[in-house]
Amino acid sequence: MKPNVEKLLLENRQALSQAAATVRAINTRRNQQIADALWDGVLPTAVASATGTSLTAVRTIGLSYDDMLPQGAHKDAHVATLLSTATELQNAEADKARLEHQRYELIVTAQRLGTYDDYQIAALTGISAPEIKRMVRGTKTSQRKAGSSPTRTRST
């Protein structure tokens, strides 16, 4: 069973890396589209509404692209493009979140099997060992032997 979990962790790491790259690429494209729309005269409130981004973020993005020229596209075309990109970004972020949850489940499974320590899991996932400990805090209770409980000492 050990190689199976190892293989799944490695595959998840690769898929998560690809999903993160996709989200970054879509964000970059969306930011360019926001700037294009603003330079073509689309109101910032319409851009914010279409993208689900705050008005402050829309203005900041627009100001960061100061070397642009108006493209002359119709305002409705910009809004349609922004809506499409926003949907694509939401789907990519949902896929990434699903993969992150899957990674968490695989980490918990690897720990419960007891064949991996936190440092081996860290090497397989690309997450630091302390972060793994924080992620799965409280999930090791099922590893305790039946009937045994941690002993407490009272200082007097």
Q: Which tokens sit at 110?
A: 């690897």
Average pLDDT over residues 93-119: 92
**In a domain? residue 153:** no
pTM of the model: 0.78
In-domain check, residue 33: yes
- Is residue 154 domain-resident? no
The mean pLDDT of 25-37, rounded to a whole number, is 96
Residue 142 exposed, middle or buried by CB count within 10 Å (0-12, 13-18, 19+): exposed
**In sequence order, what DSSP letters do the residues of 27-67 get, joined into one string?**
HHHHHHHHHHHHHTT--HHHHHHHHT--HHHHHHHHHH-TT
Instruction: Find the domain containing 77 and state its range.
Output: 2-138
Collapse the DSSP code of 65 into the 3-class scheme (helix H, G, I; strand E, B; otherwise coil) and give the result: coil
**pLDDT tens track for 55-86:** 999 999 998 988 777 777 889 999 999 999 99
* Percent of the chain predicted with pLDDT > 90: 62
Query: Taking 80 as the threshold, does the pLDDT of residue 146 lie above it?
Result: no
Give how many domains the chain has, as a whole number. Answer: 1
- In a domain, residue 146? The reply is no
Greatest CA separation found in the chain? 80
- pLDDT for 71 equals 78
Mean pLDDT of 43-65: 94
pLDDT band for position 105 (cuts 50, 70, 90): very high
Is the residue at 155 inside a domain? no
Q: What is the dihedral of CA 65, 60, 88, 93, to 10 degrees?
A: 130
